[in-house]
Structure 1
């Protein structure tokens, strides 16, 4: 990057120039510096010295590396420093993470987080949502990428809410001025851009970090590095956790040929976001310059490093800190949606005039109630999550207001990938707590309709025949305990029922067959447990269930189009000890006979049965405490060719002997068939083949 002949001369010249710059400050500011030797900035400089010392043994090897080859090394250095860096765990919901300012022209992603429209369109921004947990990133499509590909529109609901706040309207004036400055900068009118940003800083807010940042970039373009460095350092003071402030500072320091200080500043940036591609590129560039401008054998290299870092520290210490706003009174008198203090410079909550908000402004257009779990569609409209799903259940995948297609959005919604809109939820919970609690009760009364049964009641412990439960009923076919029962759910009423059932802790609903004689569902059924569910793009689903316990219907009812019932669990009658010994042996004997029948089947049929049963059942013994008898018997009652009326009788029966006798009768019939078929084949083999007639 730099010629070998000029490297030593350039290093010594820069060192002398930096020493001369520091001398005028030394006498007047030495007292201040002594008092700040224990600041976090100072400790970071000490850590940075350690990093440089660790790199020295490998400098000879690194000298041959290109800037691109140094990027992984910079990335690793940043990750190593993350453990000692302070991370921001609290976010203001009204502040955009990308620009660290109030969200202007909000775009709400399906993950529920909201950012500025301009920040979303900036291709240099991250492709992963910075607010989403790292462990879920990459599992599904990035919310930011999905928003760009599907052209998400501005959140119309939030725009209407923000327009009601006078403080936000005033704040938008500075945003428009910043846009004007950005246009001037894009056209190369750097001085006009500086004048526009200066107007914001002088007339509106001296700590407007975006105006300071953009003015620093303009100064950099005009090669006015000293003014640019002051603005960049001011930005870092106001927003110490914003990566762009450090990147801007590092660029200016690099142009001033303060390579070591530039490297440290870019390292600070990369510690905030180690995956930032711009940060990795800049730090690799600065590391490349440091490696080619410091000589291990020359004390001048160490002196240069000390001088650059001291200059960077002085620039940070002597920069006038922003005046902290006296927000104690405001914090006491006004509600806030986050725990950040107004003086931190990261909170925008107090820009929202909560006194001008009304709970009626936060009603759902479909149910006309206060929004519950509000979600934002790609077209920018906001509804209750359940309201949108039920609307699509009965119509098409379109927005209920503007009829925009939700074809790509709806599958994520029903698979619970779409989270509630954070800002709207926090506003409701913060400013309307009474209405929020009332809405919670309404939701629980209308939607929590699944079977809430404890684990002890589903097992063999703590059973009492008198306990009655209300459960949703799926009217379809006969289902049995321990038997797999896959379902194709397409009717709107059953889609709703399945969603409500799976949201309960038990994940259970009842299955009953249709009774033609009574024109209603049968008196006996089986509780099914939802093991899994797969959705189709249009909202239909394949539900994987397995039978649990039997029940008897006590009372029938209807909720939102599907059947419900008050039921009582059914269990077998107690078995006397004398009868138990006989049934115990009968259970094993019958199982062996069923196995004999299975082993005589051809391999193709055996494979089909095993796949249907998810493996051939083992013989579980009968016990005195059993509520439904051995599990294999129910599997065989479901598999063997037993009349449906007899199957219904078996489901309602509380006698194990009756059920085992049904299996025994069925297997007698099947074994006789196999024996007759085998005898017929043997007779066919023994018959002589007809001889051909002879001709004269």
Structure 2
């Protein structure tokens, strides 16, 4: 018998796992009818109730949970599945098939917050003392500190956390903080009063804290955080009705902020309106499923509703008589529920988040229809009504995200904006691609990069920025860029035009081509470079930004600065070091002749014209082919005659010698093996330079042949 029972329980577990909840519930019911051991009944009863709840039969599930509570002493932890089902019921899509709410903030609020562009994505309140993360998004400094102390931080706006190490080390963004203080003095002062009140509350000086919050709300009457926190203070002072009013105000100002609903639920529970408190906790969990406080309190309330009727009054419920009456009504009517049906939306003219008054929620006889005005809902009906309300609020949250700034605040900024408040302290022009350093200072991206080329320290406060420099991933400060785009469009357009003209000029590979004065370079031959001078750091960065990834390489010249012939190099890869130095992997592409020598921002430039070999035909082509084959064979003999160590060093640095070309004149630069050989031959740069200037392949081959003959004779002496 025991084996058969175990098989049935295993089958029920498999049915539960495969989401066949009806079958699982039937098996558990059958096993309960045959179970002799009373000690195992609680576990099976809870499993059956869980299966019914997950199968959508909430009314029947309530009855089974009630049986478990009356017979076995149900604990709050047993109601986790029921709680999940109720929360999912609230968050279900509207029956009309509308989309689920979008842009929901992880903390249960709108992504933009009540202050529009000037809101913090963590507290959803006014952005006070903003700190800028590496991704470019801004949050209140204190919010970041609090978030970083609890868990690894990820940006709430973009989800990036890869570059966030110690967020508490990030300083307040000086430029943004100054702007917000100037533009919104009342909101700024209200936040300061709020922090003073928080300090007093932490010291258990609740009356003084309340006074601070009263002053703050007078200055910022639309700040939902102020009402939420004042609700908590009222609760501490046992002003429960006032706490409820403040919590309702917070919910009206921010209907989808989970913390406001927690405050409201706590206030409702304090005055004995436990059914409404449960509803608020469920709404909170539908917005923020990981809210542990709401989950635990909702489990306790559900446990109280399902517990047997007794004359004992739990200490945590202040007015238990109404709960007893409500619970009796719940038990008498729960069997009459038709779980799959959803009652029609509650008709109310109140805004979302408005709680019913005591008169509206007074207990009426159960003979009233489910949607009758004034009828008090038992928990299962309240959950369904909450679901409808949550769906209506979710539909109301779909707003035009193109207008990031609310109208009144936008007009305030229009009157106060001053272009000088948005100027870079380095170039003294309006910020272009503003970037904030970890120390809190803001600069144009290019201005900052040029300063860091010379010294890895902040140009203003001289704080070390080596780690910031090593990342080389500078993200623009989103809020600063949006402000400039909205309020200074003309000045921004001028900056953009200047930048585009500069990019177009730097992209020209015939005029003012950047020249690296260092060594000889040849077409098709790799040329690795170690960049450490500030002027060449700037030059390499510009080559990458323009997209050309090319610059010229020339030998130095005592008179002209650099030689009249060179090779255009293409950047294949750049590896940066923490101190700003870099290793650049390049390869030669084309030869050129310098037409005019110039300079730009500390490095050399030149107007150039490209060189190509002159092609020959007929008898001259046959002679060229014969000479090509002879010189290639001669080069192989010389290479193979080198010592093993010497040959390995050459092959390790330059790679293997290219194969002989079947058509020597196919490339405008001639055969690639010629340039490889010239690069490895032990010749000084001045001796190699004439080969680069030649446009006759025959003369180049003849010159290489003479060099090889000289090298062979020198070795035999």
Q: Aligning the two structures, in what range does the TM-score lie when normalised by the shorter sequence? A: 0.5 to 0.7
How far, CA to CA, are the matches of 2:659 and 2:280 in structure 1? 71
Do residues 115 (structure 1) and 136 (structure 2) align?
A: no
Q: 1:618 to 1:194 in 2, by over 3 A?
A: farther
CA contact (8 A) 2:275 2:379 kept: no
CA contact (8 A) 1:250 1:266 kept: no
User: Structure 1: any 5+ residue segments left out of the alignment?
Assistant: 12-46, 272-278, 332-336, 454-467, 678-696
CA contact (8 A) 2:251 2:260 kept: yes
Q: 1:176 aligns with which of 192, 199, 210?
A: 192
* Residue equivalent to 1:649: 690
Q: 1:253 to 1:563 in 2, by over 3 A?
A: farther
How far, CA to CA, are the matches of 1:452 and 1:233 in structure 2? 64
Give the 3-state SS of the residue equivalent to 2:511 in structure 1: strand
Deviation for aligned residue 1:401 = 2.9
* Residue equivalent to 2:227: 212
Q: How does 1:341-380 map to 2 (within 5 A)?
A: 342=406, 349-352=410-413, 354-380=414-440
Deviation for aligned residue 1:629 = 1.9
Deviation for aligned residue 1:280 = 6.5
Q: 1:127 to 1:254 in 2, by over 3 A?
A: farther
CA contact (8 A) 1:411 1:535 kept: yes
Deviations along 1:170-213, one digit per CA (max 9) or x if unpaired, are 22233233224423442345576567556655x45554221233
CA contact (8 A) 1:190 1:218 kept: yes
Deviations along 1:152-179, one digit per CA (max 9) or x if unpaired, are 2x222233333433xx112223323322
Q: 1:545 aligns with which of 574, 582, 586?
A: 586
Deviation for aligned residue 1:375 = 2.4
Deviations along 1:570-594, one digit per CA (max 9) or x if unpaired, are 1111232544455456546654554
* Residue equivalent to 1:391: 451
Q: 1:574 to 1:403 in 2, by over 3 A?
A: same
Q: 1:533 aligns with which of 564, 574, 577?
A: 574
Q: How does 1:240-255 map to 2 (within 5 A)?
A: 242=257, 244-245=259-260
Q: Paired residues, what number?
A: 574
TM-score normalised to structure 2 length? 0.66
How far, CA to CA, are the matches of 1:283 and 1:659 in structure 2? 84
* Residue equivalent to 1:633: 674
Q: 2:466 aligns with which of 407, 415, 418?
A: 407
* Residue equivalent to 1:439: 495
Q: 1:644 to 1:261 in 2, by over 3 A?
A: same
Q: 1:639 to 1:199 in 2, by over 3 A?
A: same
CA contact (8 A) 1:478 1:525 kept: yes
Deviation for aligned residue 1:105 = 1.6
How far, CA to CA, are the matches of 2:444 and 2:693 in structure 1? 42
* Residue equivalent to 2:386: 312
Give the 3-state SS of the residue equivalent to 2:658 in structure 1: coil
How far, CA to CA, are the matches of 1:121 and 1:183 in structure 2? 16
Q: 1:155 aligns with which of 173, 184, 203?
A: 173
Q: How does 1:442-453 map to 2 (within 5 A)?
A: 442-444=498-500, 450-453=506-509
How far, CA to CA, are the matches of 1:405 and 1:628 in structure 2? 48
Q: 1:510 aligns with which of 529, 539, 552?
A: 552
Deviation for aligned residue 1:538 = 2.5
How far, CA to CA, are the matches of 1:314 and 1:192 in structure 2? 41
How far, CA to CA, are the matches of 2:698 and 2:461 in structure 1? 63
Give the 3-state SS of the residue equivalent to 2:466 in structure 1: coil
How far, CA to CA, are the matches of 1:664 and 1:289 in structure 2? 95
CA contact (8 A) 1:235 1:245 kept: yes
* Residue equivalent to 1:617: 658
How far, CA to CA, are the matches of 2:644 and 2:92 in structure 1? 63
The answer to which of 88-97 and 552-561 deviates more is 88-97
CA contact (8 A) 2:224 2:253 kept: yes
Do residues 239 (structure 1) and 254 (structure 2) align?
A: yes
User: Structure 2: any 5+ residue segments left out of the alignment?
Assistant: 1-37, 47-52, 69-73, 94-98, 105-110, 307-330, 340-376
Deviations along 1:244-263, one digit per CA (max 9) or x if unpaired, are 45666788899958898577
The answer to which of 120-129 and 175-184 deviates more is 120-129
* Residue equivalent to 2:17: none
Q: 1:583 to 1:356 in 2, by over 3 A?
A: same
Deviation for aligned residue 1:638 = 0.8
Q: How does 1:417-432 map to 2 (within 5 A)?
A: 417-432=473-488
Do residues 381 (structure 1) and 445 (structure 2) align?
A: no
Deviations along 1:515-567, one digit per CA (max 9) or x if unpaired, are 34x34211111111122222233322222211111111111111122111111
Deviation for aligned residue 1:473 = 1.0
CA contact (8 A) 1:147 1:378 kept: no
Q: 1:483 aligns with which of 525, 539, 555?
A: 525
Q: 1:52 to 1:232 in 2, by over 3 A?
A: farther
Q: 1:130 aligns with which of 155, 165, 182?
A: 155
Deviation for aligned residue 1:103 = 1.1
Deviation for aligned residue 1:488 = 1.6
Do residues 497 (structure 1) and 539 (structure 2) align?
A: yes
How far, CA to CA, are the matches of 2:298 and 2:54 in structure 1? 12
How far, CA to CA, are the matches of 2:247 and 2:180 in structure 1? 30
How far, CA to CA, are the matches of 2:238 and 2:635 in structure 1? 90
How far, CA to CA, are the matches of 1:670 and 1:266 in structure 2? 86
* Residue equivalent to 2:602: 561
How far, CA to CA, are the matches of 2:670 and 2:262 in structure 1? 71
How far, CA to CA, are the matches of 1:580 and 1:248 in structure 2? 92
Deviation for aligned residue 1:479 = 0.7
TM-score normalised to structure 1 length? 0.68
* Residue equivalent to 1:689: none
Deviations along 1:638-659, one digit per CA (max 9) or x if unpaired, are 1123453442111111122233
* Residue equivalent to 1:105: 129
Q: 2:403 aligns with which of 324, 331, 339?
A: 339
How far, CA to CA, are the matches of 1:241 and 1:595 in structure 2? 78
Q: 1:558 to 1:315 in 2, by over 3 A?
A: closer
How far, CA to CA, are the matches of 1:666 and 1:65 in structure 2? 93
Deviation for aligned residue 1:480 = 0.9
How far, CA to CA, are the matches of 1:398 and 1:174 in structure 2? 36
Deviation for aligned residue 1:126 = 6.7
How far, CA to CA, are the matches of 1:99 and 1:197 in structure 2? 17
Give the 3-state SS of the residue equivalent to 1:484 in structure 2: coil
